[in-house]
Each structure stands twice: as C-alpha cells, then as structure tokens.
C-alpha cells in the first residue's frame, strides 16, 4: 500500500532528495510554533484537535501556543433570536484556547509573536499583510488532490464528478489566490479510496478531516513550511489523479445544482450520485404532472390552473428492486433498454407497475404502490434509463416536512372524491344514465347501485347541481392552500 504522506510525484532522484530534506532532522534552529488557526466547521475541528494534542504532548512539532480565529455566529430562527455559532468556536472554548471572532481582517491585528498561520475550511481570504507578519507564512489543508478541485466544495464535487479516488493536500497560503499555494505534501497518487463505494458527503467529511489532520501534523513535525521545492504535477500525474478527465473546479454548491430540471435528461445513476453528494434534490414538474394525471382520470369540475409547486426529495432515493433477492441480483446486472423487459424482472407489484407504464412510460412518471389500508406504501419514479427509484420521503412547498408522499396521494383522493360526488348528483337528477358508468357503477355507489343513504327524497334541481359544483370546487381547491395530510389520515 502506498503511504498517505508523500512528498514525491515525479522523479525517483527528486523523491529521495525531498524525503531526505523533509523527514530527517536538521541542525538548523527553528522557533517554537505560535500558531494562528483559522477555521469554521467540523472539517477544521479535526485539525485543531490534532494540533492541540501535539501542543500538550510537547512533540517534535514544537507547538508553543494556538490562537483560534473564526467568524461570529449568525442569528437564525423565528425572529432571529437564536445565535448559531460555528463548531470551531465551541471546540476552541472547550480546549481553553484563545479565541478571536472577526468578520474581516481589515483593521484587525494578530496577537504578538504569531509566526505561522494555518487556515482550514475557513471561508475568508487571509490577506498578505497577515501572512507577511508570520515568520513561517501560512498553511492550508485542502480535501482534494490539488491542483484538481480547487474551490470551496471539493468533497461534494469529488462525488458529483464520480472521481474514483480522493486525497488531501497540504499547501501554502497564496497571497492573491485561493488554493494556488505551493503543494508541500499530498496523498500518494492516484489517491485513496472512499470509506465505501456509496459514501455520502456527510460520511466523507469526518473521514477526510482525519486524513487532513494527520497530514498537517506530519508536515509540522518535518517543518515542510521551510520547503523551497514544492511538489509539481506532470501531465501524466494529472491524468492519474483525475481518472484521465483532467483538472476540474469545485465551486460552491447552489440551489440550482440540486434542481432536476428534466427527468428526460438524467439517469438513475446520476440522480443517486447527486443525492449522495448534495442531497435534497428538487423539481417543479412532478407535482404538475401528477395533478394533470388526476385531471385526466377524474375530469375537473371547471378549468383550473395547476400551481407550480416545488417538491424536495428530502429523504433521498434508492433503486427499487422488487421483493426477492433473485430479482434484485438480476436487476443489478441488467442493461436492458426496454422498460417491459426491466419491469418483468420485478417480483412484487409487477402487474400494478405494468398497468401504469405499459401505455406510454415517461421519465418522471410517478407510481404509487398501495397498501391494503388505502395509504400509499411506496412512491416510485420511472427514470430515463428504465430504472425505478424509490422515494424515501419528500416535502411539497407549503406542506408538512417529509409528508409529500401522503400529500401527493391526497391530491388524488381530492379529485376522486369530488368526481364521485358529482357523478352521484348527476345520476340522482337524471343527467347521467347509470349504465354509462359500466364497471365503475359499484365504485360510485358501493351500496349496490342505490342512491346514497338519506338522499332519495331530496328534491334536486339544476340550480342545486350548480350550487354543489361551487361547494365542491371550494372544498377541492382548499388543498392548494393547506396540507391535506389530516384529510388523508382520516380517509383511511
């Protein structure tokens, strides 16, 4: 196995020189390190803890003191009454380290005697004035194989770009550009494997934080900040650390990165990878498409505009594989392009899924697998590569958190209820021939085709029908403004 800490990437001769210079003690005298540590999140907490451990142990890193810099907490919650502080602040206080909360370096002066700046997932640019005042300059731990994935979100983009390996880099702080410092130490190429092949960003952060902290401590022990020969990459090594794809950037994740703008243009594998990397994917087409399907099955009482509601898939997805292990194994190895061939491998609910998709399957098509109780058991989405994704949970804009599956089903119940009441009324006043209902007669009149109890002697007139239409529409449209979860629960 190749070592994590490697100061060589190119020539064997140079490798020996770098390792000898870095890993053997020098007769040169170094001042004890008085560190100004700049951090923010859990990733930086791991490095701070490792440095403090070295300080207390009086190790060869020779750390005399650590001052911590972070940004002030932000007000949040209703009325902005709660202040949410950064994890690094809380940890610094627990470790009894001097703490400085600043939102800008302008006009701020570091404590006297600081000779090394270390920034880890800080979020602010450390200006040249601060770096120049520190005898040993500045260092940064970055969770990627630089120069690949420069930017604020390297872990997210490692997964999004489907990189097969990852790594950590110890670099100097550049006086003008972020992530353009000299590379002093780095994971040996092509990098290290993920904790497991389907690791999420949430799982990757502590894993990478530990690796980064280890690299930082080893770098300080061997005084790599004194290096005058930074590591550089050849074209061949760039291809090696990027799986042959070349260097990419890792910009800040935006809401649009989570947007599934077209189910026709994204396959199941990409959806699952995006979900692992950034989560909370969303779209604005699913609600409209589902509601339109209900309008086709249950014609509306009057023309209406369907609101464009955002659905956030807050619980993520998984591949739906049916109910048996044998069908699951068959689907794992399936490369079929035909939806029917694919669906035929399912063990459970095959008939129901086929009935939905056999007419004209479209990417983004919703399929509810019902329970005997009437509640939806699972929500399935058909994808462009003929796969089925199980929706673990979702939230509809304006609705209850993680109750989107129930609310989508309630949309159907609302249409069905209004439609049945209208048909019953039309039958009672003679506007509709009962025989025209065909097989749906028993569904509309569960009492065997009789009028609903208590309604035989009601003198219905045409104006009553119009009045009821208004009543039905008022009742029906209320679900556009309020959550239907309560109504759904009562209907079971």
Tokens 């210079």 belong to residue: 21
Domains of the chain listed by start with CATH number: 12-241 (3.40.50.170), 256-283+317-391 (no CATH)
Tokens 């679900």 belong to residue: 479
First CA to last CA across the chain, in angstroms? 59
Q: Is residue 160 left, alpha or beta, with left meaning phi > 0 and alpha meaning psi from -120 to 50?
A: alpha
pLDDT tens track for 334-374: 444 445 555 554 445 666 777 777 666 788 989 888 665 55
pTM listed for this prediction? 0.79
CA distance 349 to 352: 5
Confidence class for position 182, pLDDT limits 50, 70, 90: very high
Which whole-number Å values give the CA distances from 359 to 63, 215, 354, 379, 438, in the listed order? 71, 58, 9, 19, 22
Eight-state DSSP code of residue 382: E
pLDDT tens track for 360-411: 678 898 988 866 555 666 889 989 888 889 999 999 999 999 999 989 988 8
Token reading at 401: 């958190």
At residue 482, the pLDDT reads: 44
Token reading at 41: 């999140």
In the sheet with 63-70, reading across from the earlier edge strand, the strands are 99-101, 63-70, 33-39, 116-120, 138-142, 169-172, 183-186
Token reading at 94: 């627990």
The bridge status of strand 366-370 relative to strand 376-382 is antiparallel
């Amino acid at each position: 196995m190749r070592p994590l800490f490697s100061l060589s990437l190119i020539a064997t001769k140079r490798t020996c020189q770098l390792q000898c210079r870095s890993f053997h003690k020098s007769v040169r005298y170094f001042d004890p390190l008085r560190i100004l540590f700049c951090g923010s999140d859990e990733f930086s907490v791991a490095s701070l803890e490792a440095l403090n451990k070295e300080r207390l142990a009086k190790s060869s890193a020779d750390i005399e003191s650590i001052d911590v810099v972070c940004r002030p907490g932000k007000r949040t919650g209703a009325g902005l009454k709660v202040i949410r502080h950064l994890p690094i602040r809380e940890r610094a206080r627990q470790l009894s380290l001097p703490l400085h909360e600043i939102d800008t370096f302008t006009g701020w002066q570091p404590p006297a005697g600081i000779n090394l700046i270390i920034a880890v997932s800080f979020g602010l640019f450390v200006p040249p004035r601060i770096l120049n005042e520190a005898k040993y300059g500045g260092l940064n731990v970055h969770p990627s194989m630089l120069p690949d994935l420069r930017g604020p979100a390297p872990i997210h983009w490692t997964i999004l770009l489907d990189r097969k390996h990852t790594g950590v880099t110890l670099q100097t702080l550049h006086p003008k550009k972020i992530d353009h410092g000299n590379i002093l130490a780095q994971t040996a190429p092509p990098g290290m494997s993920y904790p497991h092949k389907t690791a999420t960003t949430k799982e990757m952060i502590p894993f990478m934080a530990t690796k980064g902290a280890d690299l930082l401590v080893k770098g300080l022990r061997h005084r790599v900040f004194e290096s005058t020969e930074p590591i550089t990459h050849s074209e061949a090594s760039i291809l090696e650390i990027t799986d042959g794809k070349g260097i990419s950037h890792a910009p800040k994740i935006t809401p649009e990165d989570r947007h599934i703008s077209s189910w026709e243009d994204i396959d199941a594998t990409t959806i699952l990878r995006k979900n692992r990397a950034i989560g909370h994917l969303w779209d604005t087409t699913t609600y409209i498409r589902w509601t339109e399907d209900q309008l086709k099955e249950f014609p509306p009482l009057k023309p209406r505009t369907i609101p464009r509601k955002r659905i956030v898939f807050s619980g993520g997805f998984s591949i739906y594989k049916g109910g048996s292990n044998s069908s699951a194994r068959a689907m794992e190895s399936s490369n079929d392009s035909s939806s029917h061939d694919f669906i035929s491998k399912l063990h459970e609910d095959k008939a129901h899924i086929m009935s939905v998709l056999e007419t004209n399957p479209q990417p983004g098509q919703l399929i509810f697998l019902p329970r005997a109780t009437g509640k939806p058991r699972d929500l399935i989405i058909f994808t462009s590569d003929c796969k089925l994704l199980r929706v673990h949970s979702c939230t509809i804009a304006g609705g209850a958190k993680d109750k989107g599956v129930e609310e989508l089903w309630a949309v159907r119940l609302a249409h069905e209820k209004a439609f049945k009441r209208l048909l019953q009324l039309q039958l009672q006043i003679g506007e509709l021939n009962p025989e025209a209902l065909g097989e749906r007669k028993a569904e509309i009149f569960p009492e065997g085709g009789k009028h609903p109890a208590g309604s035989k002697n009601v003198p219905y007139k045409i104006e009553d029908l119009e009045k009821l239409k208004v009543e039905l529409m008022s009742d029906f449209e209320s679900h556009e403004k309020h959550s239907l979860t309560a109504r759904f629960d009562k209907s079971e």
